[in-house]
Amino acid sequence: MSDVKTSTDPKVLAMMQKTRNIGIMAHIDAGKTTVTERILFYTGRNHRIGETHEGTATMDWMEQEQERGITITSAATHCIWNDHRINIIDTPGHVDFTVEVERSLRVLDGAVFVLCSVGAVQPQSETVWRQATKYKVPCMAFVNKMDRTGSDFYNVVGQLDDKLNANPIPIQIPIGSEENFRGVVDLITLEAIVWDEASLGAKYEVIDIPEDMVEDVKNYRIQMLEAIADHDESLMEKYLMEEEISGEEIVAAIRKATIAKDITPVMCGTALKNKGVQAMLDRVLDFMPSPLDVQAVKGIDPKTDEEVTREADPSAPFSALAFKIMTDPYVGKLTFTRVYSGTLEKGSYVLNSSTGKKERIGRLLEMHANDKKDLDRAQAGDIVAVVGVKTVHTGDTFCDLDKPVILEQITFPEPVIKLAVEPKTKADSDKLSTGLQKLAEEDPTFKVSTDEETGQTTIAGMGELHLEIIVDRLKREFKVEANVGAPQVSYRETISGNVTHRETYKKQTGGRGKFADIQFEIAPMSYFDNYEGKKDRISQDDGFMFINEIVGGNIPREFIPAVEKGFKAALENGIQASYSVENVGVRLFDGSYHDVDSDQLSFELAAKQGFRNSAKKAKPVLLEPVMKVEVTTPEEYMGDVIGDLNSRRGIIQSMNTDSTGSVVNANVPLSEMFGYSTDLRSLTQGRAVYSMEFEEYTQVPDKLAQEIIESQA
């Protein structure tokens, strides 16, 4: 990477200091895309405001997004505001596309958390918040839709505290509410701002604080100062001495506490009516971290397995994370990349340390939704799309050829629902497998598998909507006509008891035979929690634990991995039905071998056979995915909604009524939720809405489990 300016160059540092990588995240319908559209309009990126409800939003560029009025894929863009560059990723709110939020947050430095002033903190808001906490992403909150009937700013602040432990600190409070919402009081500057309706909120007037608000303003300002004084000693001193505290000092203290994730500054407005977005942008610059403010990214050196760090410095060794892959009809495969350190130039070679392959960077592109602009170079802190990389998966690390590093991987949830697909004609057959392969590359939560016995292709994903969109994209982007089977639930199997078993595998076919003999104990993983043997004998994978207690060479050391491999392979084929098995522990404690007839394959086959025979005696149970469902309904339908959820084997968790209607939270098995949206509309004359997300796997009732097993036979 020659000709790179060093980090001491003040211009480079200043540029990085003026960069913000932020995400817009929220529950469905909180107004994320509308907020992003206003940002693009005010910063001069768009000359006309796109509207989600009209299907003209810039960031919702996919046909499916425009038709449905929802965000499906996270779109990246950038804009300039007050001489700062803001890279923005607009993420989906629907739980089926939670992977988009997960991978976006992994590479962002900060996030604006949009909340609806009426709905407040909803289930998906909680999921998104958990993801932001997991990746230690500093957040500020924007309470949107303040002009709606039933809006309550203070209720949202209360729920941010109660439900999310976000330590919310209002830095604005609203003037008026619902249709009378006309402005805000800024608690930092103590200015009351009222927006001008005629200029689309671009102009505003500074007025005196309304008399009836003076007391509230005073109380909330004291709350704000006390909260930030806890994180700044000099400010605390001034506050206790009752000295004057300047606006700059307050902003600096809020910034420090926000980046440390100690507080969440809260603002409000209504994006649709163009109120409050510019002020929010100003505060993004004030409170959100630049790439230089974020901790150096950690990774593993693949040569030594030691932890290394990479500073956000253009002259440091190059490292970047591929967080999203997209197929573009014109340029081919686009790999969205966040550069953490060093500089990347087009035409240069980099190492994909996750695959060990050397890759050439053909083009570097700056993205604006689905529009592109060529770049010559990208440096630490930039988010760009790369063209020309052949072998790459979401979460792979690109790095310097001479200084390899593997950055922390992105973890993705397992699919919970699957469909069978088959091509309508012979011509569609090849196109189908190409299309599915490309879509699986783009989306790590989408899995494709082929049943070896029947040759049937099944696709698995996060929900009905997710798979519906996939099938729709196959049709539109890859011109594939396919027949789709009924949705099937991804059940799991496990065991609930422990069994000690001996398995002897013998085969004599003339000449050299096959022989393996193993003795083991099989049980749920929790059974071995208090295992007293040596910890280095335990190897653990997702949903499987293997304990090797063989001493004295009863089974030669080179055959042990084959035993473990055999057990792992057996987990895929199920016990009672053909669903994959999880939460199983195996303790191998004895066995024997034959000098001539024993080999790795014999022991692998003995383990497979041993698992089948022992698991049936270890009280096998069937597990099903259970969803967390939230239904918001007018009060008069409350009884019908609860009755319907109960009939679906739902367990009601909570019920409460507020100004928006009644909210029911329940845990319901996924198998009972197919077609629920239609049934709910019928029950409530189309007035109720619901959202759902995966909660956990739980045991299927015996009678039902029997039916499912028989249907698989």
Q: Which residue has the higher pLDDT, 706 or 89?
A: 706
Q: What is the pLDDT of residues 242-271, one digit of tens each?
A: 888 888 989 999 999 999 999 999 999 998
What's the confidence (pLDDT) of residue 466? 79
Highest mean pLDDT among 114-128, 227-241, 592-606: 592-606
Instruction: Please tell me whether residue 323 adopts helix, strand or coil conformation.
Output: strand
Considering just the CA atoms, what is the radius of gyration of the chain in Å?
29
pLDDT of 528 > 80? The answer is yes
CB-based contact 24:35 (threshold 8 Å): yes
Highest mean pLDDT among 24-38, 51-65, 120-134, 621-635: 621-635
Which residue type does 705 have?
A
Measured between alpha carbons, how far is 583 from 679 in angstroms, rounded to an integer? 35
Per-residue pLDDT band for 199 (boundaries 50, 70, 90) equals low
Residues in the chain: 713
Return the DSSP state at 577.
Answer: S
Neighbours of 129 (CB within 10 A): 23
Which residue type does 391 have?
T
pLDDT of 48 > 60? The answer is no
Q: 441 φ, ψ to 5°?
A: -65, -40
Measured between alpha carbons, how far is 663 from 694 in angstroms, rounded to an integer? 18
pLDDT of 617 > 60? The answer is yes
Measured between alpha carbons, how far is 259 from 539 in angstroms, rounded to an integer? 38
What's the confidence (pLDDT) of residue 150? 87
User: For a pLDDT cut of 70, what percent of the chain falls above it?
Assistant: 89
Name 232's Cβ contacts closer than 8 Å, sequence gap at least 6: 252, 253, 256, 257
What's the confidence (pLDDT) of residue 154? 94
Q: What is the mean pLDDT of residues 140-161?
A: 92
CB-based contact 547:587 (threshold 8 Å): yes
pLDDT of 684 > 90? The answer is no
Instruction: Please tell me whether residue 261 adopts helix, strand or coil conformation.
Output: coil
pLDDT of 644 > 70? The answer is yes
Q: 619 φ, ψ to 5°?
A: 50, 70
Measured between alpha carbons, how far is 133 from 26 in angstroms, rounded to an integer? 14
What's the confidence (pLDDT) of residue 454? 59
Q: What is the mean pLDDT of residues 28-38?
A: 76
Which residue type does 167 have?
N
Name 73's Cβ contacts closer than 8 Å, sequence gap at least 6: 62, 65, 92, 97, 100, 326
Measured between alpha carbons, how far is 237 from 262 in angstroms, rounded to an integer? 19
pLDDT of 463 > 50? The answer is yes
Distances (CA, A) of 2 to 27, 348, 378, 387, 454: 45, 10, 13, 21, 55
Q: What is the mean pLDDT of residues 648-663?
A: 83
Per-residue pLDDT band for 677 (boundaries 50, 70, 90) equals confident
Measured between alpha carbons, how far is 323 from 104 in angstroms, rounded to an integer? 7
* Greatest Cα-to-Cα distance within the chain, rounded to the nearest angstrom: 101
Q: What is the mean pLDDT of residues 509-523?
A: 86
CB-based contact 493:621 (threshold 8 Å): yes
Per-residue pLDDT band for 160 (boundaries 50, 70, 90) equals very high
Per-residue pLDDT band for 520 (boundaries 50, 70, 90) equals very high
What's the confidence (pLDDT) of residue 135? 83
Q: What is the pLDDT of residues 109-135, one digit of tens each?
A: 999 999 989 888 876 677 788 888 888
Nearest partner of 297 among 318, 269, 276, judged by Cα:
318
Q: Which residue has the higher pLDDT, 8 or 349?
A: 349
Q: Which residue has the higher pLDDT, 369 or 198?
A: 198
Highest mean pLDDT among 62-76, 399-413, 448-462, 632-646: 632-646
What's the confidence (pLDDT) of residue 418? 78
Q: What rounded mean pLDDT belongs to the chain?
A: 83
pLDDT of 375 > 80? The answer is yes
What's the confidence (pLDDT) of residue 591? 92
What's the confidence (pLDDT) of residue 68? 43
What's the confidence (pLDDT) of residue 99? 65
Measured between alpha carbons, how far is 62 from 277 in angstroms, rounded to an integer? 25
* Adjacency order of strands within the sheet including 191-195: 172-175, 183-186, 191-195, 204-207
Per-residue pLDDT band for 510 (boundaries 50, 70, 90) equals low
pLDDT of 369 > 80? The answer is no
Task: Name the pTM for this structure.
Answer: 0.69
CB-based contact 24:40 (threshold 8 Å): no
Instruction: Please tell me whether residue 20 adopts helix, strand or coil conformation.
Output: strand
Q: Which residue has the higher pLDDT, 374 or 368?
A: 374
> Which of 36-50, 244-258, 299-313, 598-612 shows the lowest mean pLDDT across its residues?
36-50
Measured between alpha carbons, how far is 174 from 265 in angstroms, rounded to an integer? 14
What's the confidence (pLDDT) of residue 60? 38
Q: How many CA atoms lie within 13 A of 295 on its CB side?
A: 12
pLDDT of 451 > 70? The answer is no
Measured between alpha carbons, how far is 414 from 637 in angstroms, rounded to an integer? 35
Per-residue pLDDT band for 588 (boundaries 50, 70, 90) equals very high
The DSSP-derived string for 646-706 is HHTT-EEEEEEEETTEEEEEEEEEGGG-TTHHHHHHHHHTT--EEEEEEEEEEEPPHHHHH
User: For a pLDDT cut of 90, what percent of the chain falls above it?
Assistant: 29
CB-based contact 588:560 (threshold 8 Å): yes
pLDDT of 315 > 90? The answer is no
Tokens of 225: 């100062």
Helix (H) / strand (E) containing 469: helix 464-477
> Which of 148-162, 247-261, 310-324, 417-431 shows the lowest mean pLDDT across its residues?
417-431
pLDDT of 668 > 80? The answer is yes
Q: Which residue has the tokens 């340029």?
A: 331
Question: Torsion angle, CA of 607/611/612/618, rounded to 10 degrees?
Answer: 160
Per-residue pLDDT band for 138 (boundaries 50, 70, 90) equals very high
Nearest partner of 59 among 84, 43, 40, 82, judged by Cα:
40
Helix (H) / strand (E) containing 391: none
Q: What is the pLDDT of residues 178-195, one digit of tens each?
A: 888 889 999 999 999 998
Per-residue pLDDT band for 504 (boundaries 50, 70, 90) equals very high
Name 355's Cβ contacts closer than 8 Å, sequence gap at least 6: 391, 392, 393, 396
Alpha-helical segments (H) within 532-623? 560-571, 600-615
Residue 652, strand partner residues: 666
Name 482's Cβ contacts closer than 8 Å, sequence gap at least 6: 421, 422, 423, 424, 428, 432, 471, 474, 475
Name 619's Cβ contacts closer than 8 Å, sequence gap at least 6: 495, 496, 497
What do you get for the CA distance between the two ends of the chain, in Å?
A: 60
Q: Quote the strand ranges of 442-583, DSSP E.
A: 447-450, 457-461, 482-484, 488-489, 492-495, 499-507, 514-523, 538-541, 544-548
Q: Quote the strand ranges of 91-190, DSSP E.
A: 110-116, 139-144, 168-170, 172-175, 183-186
> What is the separation of C-alpha 354 from the centre of its chain, rounded to a whole number of angstroms?
21
Q: Which residue has the higher pLDDT, 148 or 96?
A: 148
What's the confidence (pLDDT) of residue 339? 92
Q: What is the mean pLDDT of residues 561-587?
A: 90
